[in-house]
Chains A and B, each alone.
Chain A
Amino acid sequence: MDSLVIAGKSFRSRLFIGTGKFASTSVMAAAIEASGTEMVTVALRRVDIQNPCDDMLSAIDRTRYQLLPNTSGARDAAEAVRLARLARAASGIHWVKLEVTPDPYYLLPDGTETLKAAETLVKEGFVVLPYIHADPVLAKRLQEVGCATVMPLASPIGSNQGMRTKDSIAIIIEQATVPVVVDAGLGAPSHAAEAMEMGADAVLVNTAIATAADPVRMAAAFKQAVEAGRLAYEAGLPPKSTTAQASSPLTGFLRNE
């Protein structure tokens, strides 16, 4: 299978993993390994002064997995930019998953603030992977300002509902000039396979793996689903038929030629 290229970097795995919601750091590490991923997201949070705990980052082997800091928690462009700069200062990584989610209930992304932040961050030399609703025009605008991918949601974060925004994602894929990573709401390996069969370049999964009864095996299942979906896409899925309804003949006039 061909490899995915984002901002000049090649990935053999088209499954990215989010590191939140795991019961423990060791389960997280085992699930990451089982998924075959090459990139994992991490967030930034204030240290709890009363209880400064150990560093989960040390559980992630940075020689095998690329870190992708996200700006989760940001409610506007200014906060997102600040978080991105902090992350870069802390890790030396200039890739960022741009997430601006002011609404605490559905955690849906604010497109206006995302675009603003993306413009600033691209100019500062970041490789920006923006998380958005499946809005095709917004996706084009983000590509225009120089984002390295677009990451439309399948359904709200943690909802596990699968590809609810399927038709819009299809348009985004059709019009994209950068890789499309379907992110958020993929609740089962079949959802991930569906996204890949449609032509998505990659998927990002967190909740479905972290909160599964057996996260390590679920990670392995997602790995297989992503590979199967991509293989099917490359093999060329047979078309589903549509029925036609004839009306009066339109090309009879050519018979005399």
Chain B
Amino acid sequence: MSWTLKINGTPQTFEPSEQPATLADLLKQLQMDKAAVVAEVDGQVVPREHFAQTVLRDGQSIELIRFVGGG
């Protein structure tokens, strides 16, 4: 059964074969360096050391944020 995860506000569908089991898996799939990323799952901040233990489920809302230049 396919999943839908809302990532940075955009719903994305994942077929069973490509569903990321954990947050760390998702970042690897998206080719993001987890060291540079801040993550929120369903409104809760997830500390970096817990990425590999954070199990994902259908319907979750995920925010992936990073530091950028700013005033």
Quick check: do A and B touch in the complex, using CB within 8 A?
yes
Contact residues of A with B, CB < 8 Å? 18-22, 28, 41-47, 49, 52, 54-58, 67, 69-70, 72, 85-87, 89-91, 157, 183-184, 204, 206-207
Q: Taking A55-B35, A206-B71 as contacts, is the C-beta distance between A46 and B63 under 8 angstroms?
A: yes
Q: Which of B3-57 contact A (CB under 8 A)?
A: 7-10, 30-33, 35-38, 40, 45-48
Cα–Cα, bound, A43→B36 (Å): 13
Partner of B45, one of A20, A56, A89, A157: A89
Cα–Cα, bound, A56→B37 (Å): 12
Chain B residues whose CB sits within 8 angstroms of the CB of A206 once the complex forms: 71
Contact residues of B with A, CB < 8 Å? 7-10, 30-33, 35-38, 40, 45-48, 63-71
Chain B residues whose CB sits within 8 angstroms of the CB of A58 once the complex forms: 36
Contact, CB under 8 Å: A43 / B68: yes
**How many A-B contacts if CB must be within 8 Å?**
95
Chain B residues whose CB sits within 8 angstroms of the CB of A85 once the complex forms: 45
Cα–Cα, bound, A28→B37 (Å): 21
Beyond known contacts A45-B65, A46-B63, A55-B33: 4 more, CB 8 A cutoff: A44-B67, A58-B36, A85-B45, A207-B71
Cα–Cα, bound, A183→B70 (Å): 13
Contact, CB under 8 Å: B70 / A43: yes
| 7 pairs, CB–CB < 8 Å, chain A vs chain B | A18-B70, A44-B68, A45-B68, A46-B65, A52-B33, A55-B66, A69-B67
In the assembled complex, how far is the CB of residue B51 from the closest CB belonging to chain A, in whole angstroms?
Answer: 12
Cα–Cα, bound, A55→B68 (Å): 8
Cα–Cα, bound, A113→B36 (Å): 29
Chain A residues whose CB sits within 8 angstroms of the CB of B40 once the complex forms: 86
Contact, CB under 8 Å: B68 / A42: yes
